[in-house]
Amino acid sequence: MSGLRLGTVVRMKKPHPCGGDRWQVVRVGADYKIKCLTCGRVVMLTHDELAKRAKGTEEA
């Protein structure tokens, strides 16, 4: 998956326990930090993990 810039909103295949499936990229680098737009939880993932779990992206 490409185009994972700061601020990109990612849709996940599997919803977060809070019910949300939209996450915003808040840090890029060796690891990516994404924030759940529903509950505000931040998690860190490698690019591969993120690419595997994401269904697609949309503009922020």
22 binds Zn ion (CB under 5 A): no
Shortest Cβ distance from residue 37 to Zn ion (Å)?
Answer: 8
Fill in the DSSP letter of residue 51. Answer: H
| 57 belongs to the binding site for Zn ion (CB under 5 A) | no
- Cα of 46 vs its chain's centroid, Å: 11
Question: CB-hemisphere CA count at 13 Å for 45?
Answer: 20
Query: Would you call 50 helix, strand, or coil by DSSP?
Result: helix
Determine which residue in the list 11, 28, 33, 38 makes contact with Zn ion, applying CB under 5 A. Answer: 38
* Positions in the binding site for Zn ion (CB under 5 A): 16, 18, 20, 36, 38-39, 41
